[in-house]
Structure 1
Amino acid sequence: AHPGMTGILFDMPDVIEGAKLQIASSGVRDRCQLVSGNFFESVPAGVEAYILKHIIHDWDDDRVIAILKQCNQAMVDNGKVLVVEQVIPSGNDPFIGKLMDVNMLVMCPGGKERTAEEFRTLFAAAGFNVTKIVPIRGIVSVIEGIKATAI
């Protein structure tokens, strides 16, 4: 759909190794750079957007802020961070996504599903403003943030 678009797949070394065949067989190897690393230490610099899909819910608030700060420091001035996660409603009303919150508690100590307000708080602590939250399918949304200084 966007033949001129390029990207970087950034993940742990074993994931990158496993992705090589998939990237090559999908015909996008010439447009996708594979980079291994640890997002708590650094992320690829100078990019326009970071997409974090099902990453944030794995971590406690302090670690989430650390990840987002790495993105903020490395991105271009008018860059964006796009977080793809469930956004659960506040309060105690029943919601299917809250079941995943219990799973995260068991699978990833400190991890959890978050409300829109919790995302706004985390983004602000990392130097971002949430510009929009867009439901995309089912109970998953894209939370878009830009650098607070870009407003």
Structure 2
Amino acid sequence: MAHCPVADRCTTVAGNFFHDVPSGADVYVLSHILHDWDDEECRTILRTCAAAMTTASRLLIVEAVLPDNDGTAHPARMLDLVMLAVLAGRERTLGEYQRILHPAGLRLQRVSSTGSSVSVLECVVV
């Protein structure tokens, strides 16, 4: 980080998102994390983040968001099969994300398309 132009504005901290994350940060980022885990483990990760967040904090989730219509082509559909075969995780629709966010104490505030196969889900504590 010493040679990074934003080193004076950010901190990188190691941790275990199943147990504890640093509290009071402005932004928390989970990039390509939730698709590795089943719904209950995702809720644990999300609860850990929510417990550390303030009302001003944001959680940014960077993941593929599958369309609700099963017939719609999406690049993440093949990855969904891989996730099911190799790990306990899977790709999710927007509705499925909302179903794991709410019980974890989080509310989906906005979804931003990136022009790629992933979107950014911006969440706040309830």
TM-score by length of 2: 0.89
Deviation, 1:125, is: 1.2
Alpha-carbon distance in 2 for matches of 1:32, 1:77: 19
- RCO comparison, higher one (Cα < 8 Å, 6+): 2
**What residue identity is the alignment partner of 1:50?**
Y
| 4+ residue runs over 6 A deviation | none
Q: Which structure 2 residues correspond to residues 20-99 of structure 1 after superposition, within 5 A? A: 23-93=1-71, 94-99=73-78
Segments of 5+ residues of structure 1 without an aligned counterpart are 1-22
Alpha-carbon distance in 1 for matches of 2:76, 2:119: 12
Deviations 1:45-72 (A, max 9, x none): 1112211111111111011111111111
Please report the RMSD computed on the Cα atoms of aligned residues, expressed in angstroms: 1.5
**What residue identity is the alignment partner of 1:105?**
L
Greater per-residue helix proportion: 1
Deviation, 1:90, is: 1.9
Alpha-carbon distance in 1 for matches of 2:69, 2:21: 35
Verify: 1:119 aligned to 2:97, yes or no. Answer: yes
TM-score by length of 1: 0.76
Segments of 5+ residues of structure 2 without an aligned counterpart are none
**What residue identity is the alignment partner of 2:124?**
I
1:138 to 96, 116, 119: 116
